[in-house]
Copies of this chain bind each other. A is one copy, B any other.
């Protein structure tokens, strides 16, 4: 008589799918395997999730929320460059802790993925803020994209096993960040090239940011 009471929930389902993803890989995330883990039959999942693609998107959304939560406090670091380094490192730690979940974050976003784009924006906000403090508003977006691209690219190649040809991968990551931040600082204030920063001196040019600058990119050939 009593209408069936919910034996699971969307959050429960997403968590189960994520667990299976991390444990056994993307192909193992099956409506059946998820249902089994949740104590229900596969068709029931469709009461909580539109389809498998939406389930995977929900995993990505949850992970992006956690990422944003990890990133936000790091933006409060007084030294913007140090904050940027911390953000990049935290990003990599996150990816290494749950590589398969990470591998799902940047899959083709459907053209209508409003929610996901908002989450991207939220996760990217701390990077953007730190970038603005480093180079000013004019170059902030490009700088944030530079750091993000490096971090994501490095992590992605590392997880794919493209760095198996030798060398210290950890050292390469930190070296990369160091070079990146030096280049960024140089691009924001060309005078810093001639006057290397003293220990006490902040990386950020004190007041408002300089206007857009030519970065040392010579005209091609």
Residues of A within 8 A of B (CB): 82, 85-86, 103, 106-109, 111, 113, 117, 120-121, 139, 141-143, 145-146, 148-154, 156-157, 159-167, 171-172, 174-184, 186-187, 193-194, 196, 199, 215-218, 220-221
Contacts and interface: CB of A to CB of B under 8 A. Distances in A.
A146 B172 contact: yes
A182 B180 contact: no
B141 A181 contact: no
A152 B148 CA distance: 11
Contacts of A109: 160-162
Nearest to A186: B182
Contacts of A215: 175, 178-179, 182
A150 to B, nearest CB: 5
B82 A221 contact: yes
B117 A145 contact: no
A113 B141 CA distance: 38
A177 B157 CA distance: 18
A108 B160 contact: yes
Contact of A176 (B149, B171, B179): B149
Contact of A179 (B103, B172, B180): B180
